């Protein structure tokens, strides 16, 4: 699992609104940082091959986007301003996850592999994972992302409803992003945080989400490694939670030939200016930058920009990413989307 630095929790301990807003911005950066990480591996999978693996990764990507929206809703409900397109806050690869991650984990934009799957599992691992069918040992709560969200939740409860703006401002609902919670008070803020944590980690007694019928991200990824997860047919009402499900023991088949030979941690600057490769990289990054700019405006009072981002620019980004991974790179292999923010967009 990834652990967060104690300083994040110490700052949050002040319990005032600025401290809560700072913590929420750190959480937003973490949610954002997972998207290029997962998208890069997803785009490296050749369509029609490794479909089960691709479907799991894509399902997690969609929920990470929901988590960004939920955090933005909470920030706006507390009269803050979500920052998405600030170049100083945009994740860099390779590097540690933002927000004060306390570990030697450095994440890379890399084609899908067993090693990259281990990175995904490390990112998503809850503080007390249910290791089916072996009993999990309870320990002191480690400083995980889920624990960070729970600490934020406690501080929001302590602040009370008086700190929420009325009428609600800049909220994104389920009509735009499925399952998005409109945050107006403590109760709805807790509902949003519950959804984020349960989708990422599951509950203390189940690998499933509270909303929907999917398994939480950690257990979804673990199916790739350990096989399909399903209810234990021998379980009874008295069976411990960590024995109520079982992995089939047959890992999802992984066809190595079904992965494009994209580079690890590509950069546009790897290719000389004026070359077709550089033009393609810059074009993708311009679209990525436009997406972040539209999300910034969309979550800060311009809903038409959010619709543009979701229904148009994201589709454009998908098209350009798929074209890149099928374009031969100078020197061998293929190009890969580098997810770099451009301060000057063509």
Q: Do 30 and 156 have their domain in common?
A: yes
- Domain assignment present for residue 137? The answer is yes
Q: Do 242 and 280 have their domain in common?
A: no
More confident residue, 313 or 97: 313
Q: Do 216 and 287 have their domain in common?
A: no
Q: Do 33 and 175 have their domain in common?
A: yes
pLDDT per residue as tens digits for the range 109-140: 999 999 999 999 988 887 666 666 422 222 34
Question: Does the pLDDT of residue 3 top 80, yes or no?
Answer: no
Q: Do 228 and 121 have their domain in common?
A: yes
Q: Give the pLDDT of residue 108.
A: 95
Q: Give the pLDDT of residue 173.
A: 92
Q: Give the pLDDT of residue 209.
A: 54
Average pLDDT over all residues of the chain: 88
Q: Do 29 and 95 have their domain in common?
A: yes
- Domain assignment present for residue 115? The answer is yes
Q: What length does the chain have?
A: 346
**Owning domain of residue 104:** 6-259
pTM: predicted TM-score of the whole model, two decimal places = 0.85
Q: Which two tokens stand for residue 212?
A: 């929907």
* DSSP H or E segment with residue 315: helix 314-324
> Of 86, 209, 74, which is closest to residue 149 (Cα–Cα)?
74
Q: Do 280 and 171 have their domain in common?
A: no
pLDDT per residue as tens digits for the range 253-287: 999 999 999 999 999 999 999 999 999 999 999 99
CA distance readout (Å), 210 to 179, 193, 201, 204, 214: 11, 12, 11, 11, 9
- Domain assignment present for residue 1? The answer is no
Among the candidates 220, 242, 259, a domain finishes at 259
Q: The domain spanning residue 105 has which CATH number?
A: 1.20.1260.10
> Of 293, 338, 304, which is closest to residue 320 (Cα–Cα)?
338
Question: Does the pLDDT of residue 77 top 80, yes or no?
Answer: yes
Q: Which two tokens stand for residue 117?
A: 């799957």
pLDDT per residue as tens digits for the range 180-204: 999 999 999 999 999 988 887 666 6
Beta strand segments in the chain, E: 229-231, 245-247
Phi, psi dihedral angles at 326 (to 5 degrees)? -110, 10
Question: Does the pLDDT of residue 9 top 90, yes or no?
Answer: no
Number of domains composing the chain: 2
CA distance readout (Å), 89 to 83, 132, 211: 8, 37, 30
Q: Do 221 and 341 have their domain in common?
A: no
Q: Do 219 and 109 have their domain in common?
A: yes
Q: Do 11 and 142 have their domain in common?
A: yes
Q: Give the per-residue SS3 of 41-106.
A: HHHHECCCCCHHHHHHHHHHHHHHHHHHHHHHHHHHHCCCCCCCCCHHHCCCCCECCCCCECCCCC
Q: Do 296 and 247 have their domain in common?
A: no
pLDDT per residue as tens digits for the range 192-238: 999 988 887 666 667 765 444 578 888 899 999 998 888 888 888 88
Among the candidates 244, 259, 274, a domain finishes at 259
With pLDDT > 90 as the criterion, what percentage of the chain qualifies? Answer: 63
Contacts of 191 (CB under 8 A, 6+ apart): 181
pLDDT per residue as tens digits for the range 27-53: 999 899 999 999 999 999 999 999 999
């Amino acid at each position: 699992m990834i652990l967060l630095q104690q300083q994040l929790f110490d700052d949050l301990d002040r319990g005032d609104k600025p401290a809560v807003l700072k913590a929420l911005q750190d959480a937003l950066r973490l949610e954002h940082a997972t998207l290029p990480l997962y998208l890069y591996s997803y785009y490296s999978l050749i369509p029609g091959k490794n479909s089960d693996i691709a479907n799991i990764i894509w399902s997690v990507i969609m929920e990470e986007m929901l988590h960004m929206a939920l955090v933005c809703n909470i920030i706006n409900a507390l009269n803050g301003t979500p920052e998405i397109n600030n170049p100083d806050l945009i994740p860099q690869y390779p590097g540690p996850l933002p927000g004060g991650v306390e570990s030697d984990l450095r994440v890379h934009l890399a084609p899908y592999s067993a090693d990259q799957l281990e990175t995904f599992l490390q990112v998503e691992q809850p503080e007390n994972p249910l290791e089916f069918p072996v009993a999990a040992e309870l320990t002191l709560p480690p400083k995980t992302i889920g624990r960070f969200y729970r600490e934020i939740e406690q501080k929001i409860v302590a602040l009370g409803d008086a700190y929420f703006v009325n009428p609600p401002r800049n909220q994104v609902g389920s009509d735009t992003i499925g399952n998005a919670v409109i945050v107006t008070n403590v109760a709805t803020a807790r509902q949003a945080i519950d959804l984020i944590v349960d989708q990422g980690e599951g509950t203390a007694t189940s690998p499933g989400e509270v909303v929907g019928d999917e398994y939480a991200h950690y257990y979804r990824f673990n199916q790739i490694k350990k096989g399909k997860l399903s209810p234990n047919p021998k379980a009874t009402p008295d069976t411990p939670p960590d024995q109520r499900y079982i992995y089939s023991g047959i890992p999802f088949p992984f066809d190595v030939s079904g992965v494009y030979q994209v580079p690890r941690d590509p950069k546009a600057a790897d290719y000389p200016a004026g070359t077709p490769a550089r033009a393609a990289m810059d074009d993708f990054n311009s679209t990525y930058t436009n997406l972040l700019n539209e999300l910034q405006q969309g979550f800060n009072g311009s809903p038409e920009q959010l619709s543009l981002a979701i229904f148009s620019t994201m589709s454009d980004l998908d098209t350009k990413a798929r074209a890149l991974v099928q374009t031969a790179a100078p020197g061998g292999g293929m190009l890969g989307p580098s997810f770099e923010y451009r301060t000057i967009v063509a």
